[in-house]
Amino acid sequence: MTDVFDDLAAEYRQLDAVLAALTPDQWSRPSAAAGWTVADVVLHLAQTEEAIGTRPAEEARAFLDASAEVTVDGLADEMVAAERGMPAEELLARWRRAAFATPGTLRACPAGHRLAWVRTSLSPRTLATTRIAEHWAHAQDITVPLGIDYPDAARLRHVAWLAHRTLPYAFAVAGLADAPVVFCELTAPDGTRWTFGDPTAPARITGSAAEFCRVGARRLTPGQTGLIAEGPHAADALRLLRNYAA
């Protein structure tokens, strides 16, 4: 894969181009994230970006230290509700400050360093991957309801890798037995082939990488795609697929 920090910066630039062109009315329109406007989605992205770095704000620290008694989604809702109403130009500037600093911050981390992230810790590269996945998914929440084009890019490979890599976590969260060994053979946006896992695995998922990532982001159900799951527990793997760990 290409450099994940460069791809993270590219994802930010693609979303920034969309946000910079929004009208005041579009900022206030409902997004595809239930209960959130477009502005709320951007506020959430700014808040979570502010949690990255050596001195996160108090609110961001609460996000990182979320207790087991609260859901991450519930905490995110509370954080957005607490700061909702910021003017669009201020909100965009806030997100830009946090987001465009992130690739350099993560790239500069020393070898072996891990960063706190929502009840766990991640390597800088893995955290960069999760930020690509988060921004790409929320970009869908913004652009799809507004009818704005947001082309799929080769950096979706990072998102697909994350979804495949976290299958054991997804099965554990669901309270199921050990995750099956799954081989994924996916068609990239440019028509090339991406593979993840052991090709001799008894279970496999094949089809569009873009659809695979949207299932992992819970923006599509498996039944809304042309993805094919074959072998023991492959259908369960596709059903439980997630591009995130919360």
Sequence ranges of the domains in the chain? 4-146, 156-240
pLDDT tens-digit map of 106-119: 999 998 999 888 77
Task: Please name the CATH architecture into which domain 4-146 falls.
Answer: Up-down Bundle (1.20)
Residue 84 sits at φ, ψ, to 5 deg, of -60, 145
Residue 54 pLDDT > 60, yes or no?
Answer: no
CATH of domain 156-240: 3.30.1050
Predicted local confidence at residue 102, as pLDDT? 96
| Spatial contact of 155 and 135, defined as CB atoms under 8 Å apart | no
* Residue 223 buriedness (CB in 10 A; 0-12 / 13-18 / 19+): exposed
d(CA 108, CA 116): 16
pLDDT tens-digit map of 14-35: 999 999 999 999 999 999 999 9
pLDDT tens-digit map of 166-214: 999 899 888 887 788 999 999 999 999 999 999 999 999 999 999 999 9
Taking residues 133-147, report their average pLDDT. 98
Predicted local confidence at residue 84, as pLDDT? 95
d(CA 192, CA 178): 31
Whether the domain at 4-146 and the domain at 156-240 fall into the same CATH topology: no
Q: What percent of the chain has pLDDT over 70?
A: 91
pTM, to two decimals: 0.92
Residue 194 sits at φ, ψ, to 5 deg, of -115, 135
